[in-house]
């Protein structure tokens, strides 16, 4: 008889831990403080995902990988034994739509790409860019769909995107009510309808890591990690 898979969450996915390149950690010390907290929680592998947003955070793979090497070296120097990798969280705008096919994209698990949109307004090209990414060979992971106003005011839109093969990554913080009761309700709706493919921390600061630490003691978290999550294969 095959052994049951280990459902403990040892991989932290979707965070902003590289110092000084987006709205996440500002300094190397900030990064190390959060990573120590994650290690205390039992995390042994981090896939951090800085923003790439042409207008606000014009990061490139070169910028991200340089910061990754800096932080990896700091981990060694501080005797923090944790695996650290980097992908990116791509903001879907017209610039991305026009250029992604000629870009060197930072993906994870081979062909998986993490993407986000404006929180308030539904991009008119949303379905088209998802289709274009998929036909270009990418598995699209939609970051925190439970946080977008244009989706949480129309739950049918969740099903429409999910049925197109879009993978949903929900934030752990969403289940705590940290963002809002409405976002927590949407996250639980996705959970109830088995539409969550991944969970992520979306940590930007130490407060986020501390809230997640408390959430991990809850029954709700234990129920969540019983899902057949893509996290278990990272």
The reply to whether CATH 3.20.20.140 applies to domain 11-233 is: yes
- Determine the pLDDT at residue 117: 98
> Average per-residue pLDDT in the chain?
95
* 113 — pLDDT class (breaks 50, 70, 90): very high
Query: In the predicted model, what is the mean pLDDT of residues 180-189?
Result: 98
Q: Reply yes or no on whether the pLDDT at 45 is more than 90.
A: yes
CA distance 97 to 101: 8
* 4 — pLDDT class (breaks 50, 70, 90): very low
Cα torsion at 199, 202, 203, 208 (round to 10°)? -70
Query: In the predicted model, what is the mean pLDDT of residues 91-114?
Result: 96
Cite the DSSP H helix spans in 61-154. Answer: 61-77, 94-99, 126-135, 149-152
Q: Reply yes or no on whether the pLDDT at 119 is more than 80.
A: yes
Question: 61-77 and 28-40 are packed helices; what angle lies between their axes, rounded to 10 degrees?
Answer: 60
Q: Reply yes or no on whether the pLDDT at 6 is more than 60.
A: no
Cα torsion at 128, 130, 134, 136 (round to 10°)? 60
Query: In the predicted model, what is the mean pLDDT of residues 95-110?
Result: 96
Residue extents of the structural domains in the chain = 11-233
Tell me how far the alpha carbon of residue 16 is from its chain's centroid. 9
The contacts of residue 9 (CB under 8 Å, 6+ apart) are 42, 43, 199, 216, 225, 231
* 149 — pLDDT class (breaks 50, 70, 90): very high
Tell me how far the alpha carbon of residue 143 is from its chain's centroid. 6
Q: Reply yes or no on whether the pLDDT at 142 is more than 70.
A: yes
pLDDT > 90 fraction of the chain, expressed in percent and rounded = 94
Q: Reply yes or no on whether the pLDDT at 34 is more than 50.
A: yes
* 8 — pLDDT class (breaks 50, 70, 90): low
Least-confidence region, from 76-90, 96-110, 121-135, 220-234: 220-234
142 three-state secondary structure: strand
Query: In the predicted model, what is the mean pLDDT of residues 40-65?
Result: 96
Supply angle C-alpha 147, 135, 114, rounded to 5: 30
222 three-state secondary structure: helix
Q: Reply yes or no on whether the pLDDT at 1 is more than 60.
A: no
């Amino acid at each position: 008889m095959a052994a049951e898979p280990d459902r403990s969450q040892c991989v932290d996915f979707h965070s902003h831990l590289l110092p000084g390149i987006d709205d996440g950690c500002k300094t190397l010390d900030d990064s190390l403080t959060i990573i120590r907290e994650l290690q205390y929680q039992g995390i042994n592998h981090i896939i951090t995902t800085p923003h790439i947003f042409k207008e606000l955070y014009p990061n490139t793979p070169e910028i991200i990988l340089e910061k990754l090497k800096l932080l990896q070296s700091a981990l060694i120097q501080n005797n923090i034994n944790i695996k650290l990798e980097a992908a990116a969280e791509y903001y879907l705008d017209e610039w991305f739509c026009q250029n992604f096919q000629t870009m060197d994209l930072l993906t994870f698990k081979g062909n998986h790409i993490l993407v986000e949109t404006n929180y308030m307004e539904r991009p008119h090209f949303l379905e088209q860019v998802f289709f274009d990414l998929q036909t270009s060979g990418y598995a699209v992971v939609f970051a925190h769909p439970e946080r977008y106003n244009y989706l949480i005011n129309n739950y049918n839109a969740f099903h429409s995107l999910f049925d197109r093969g879009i993978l949903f990554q929900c934030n752990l913080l969403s289940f705590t009510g940290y963002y809002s009761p409405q976002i927590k309700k949407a996250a639980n709706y996705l959970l109830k309808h088995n539409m969550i493919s991944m969970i992520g921390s979306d940590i930007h600061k130490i407060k986020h890591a501390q809230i997640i630490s408390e959430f991990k003691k809850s029954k709700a978290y234990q129920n969540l990690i019983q899902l057949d999550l893509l996290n278990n294969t990272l």
